[in-house]
Structure 1
Amino acid sequence: MLRLSKLTDYAAVILVRLGRRGELTTATTLAQETGIPEPTVAKLLKGLAAGKLVESYRGARGGYRLAEELDHISVARVIRIVDGPICVTACCDGRECNHGETCGLSGQWDMVNQAICRTLEGITLADMAKPGGLSLEAQDSAPNDKVRTKDMLVSG
């Protein structure tokens, strides 16, 4: 099963919340508003700040805010910042496989991985934040015609 981590899901929720608020917001407030435990929110905000998705401000009036608008932040970028490279198999990111000589698929997963990456690059957090999910326009803007259906983009 291909599944995103809970931390990536939480990061998207936090980023969308920050985008909707449009003002400095503390980790405590984000935790209260999202139901995500505060230590998890704080950890994610630190990583999102390091990844330049949020800006952090210290002090009594400090907090966090988006560094960019939601329509400039792709789902792929969030995944890479939180979880690292997007790879469907261990061999797709250039690492060697123990079964490379016998599997017969050496390098073939790259095509699948690239299609997934293109699709995730074509979906922004603004698309995800729309009531009712992805619009038909967002689905149609996915770069690869073979990977556009909502069923393939969203997995429960």
Structure 2
Amino acid sequence: MSSNDDIVNCVARLQVLVDQFNAMDKIHDQKIYDQINALDEVSGLDLQFRAVNKNLELVLQQELPRLVSIIAMLYEGDRRLKDLGDRMTKIEGRQSNTREEKDQDDADFAAWRMEFADVKTKLAKPNEELAQVDIVRMNQLLAEKLELVRQVEVLCAAVSQ
């Protein structure tokens, strides 16, 4: 398996995890809202939690389509690389004896090199796109959210004692 296969598989698994996280996060958020509502004296946490969730939702709405686009570019690049690998194997496996056959091999190999260069260039684009994804902001918002969840849990534990 090529390193590009690993990347495509990793990003695909990441997308599944993001989808699972989003589904679980909605359920967890409702539990936190219920806990906050039970703590009447800390209504400020409700506003903070809603603000962080809204900011996180906005960042994810902006960044997830870009990540999906990156996944698509990597998948297409991976598919084309596999096709090129198969073509190279066929070119190398031919028994060319005549001058015409050898000229055809040379032409096929030249076409292969040009397509390989095109794929290589196009695979640089996902890396450029990935560099533009605001992962730092997503991590910051997730950390803020986790801190608010921790505060709510501490307050709930204190109230229940």
What is the TM-score when the length of structure 1 is the normalising length?
A: 0.32
What is the TM-score when the length of structure 2 is the normalising length?
A: 0.31
The structure with the largest strand share of the pair is 1
The structure with the largest helix share of the pair is 2
Query: Which one has a bigger Cα radius of gyration?
Result: 2
Q: Relative CO higher for 1 or 2, CA cutoff 8 Å, sep ≥ 6?
A: 2
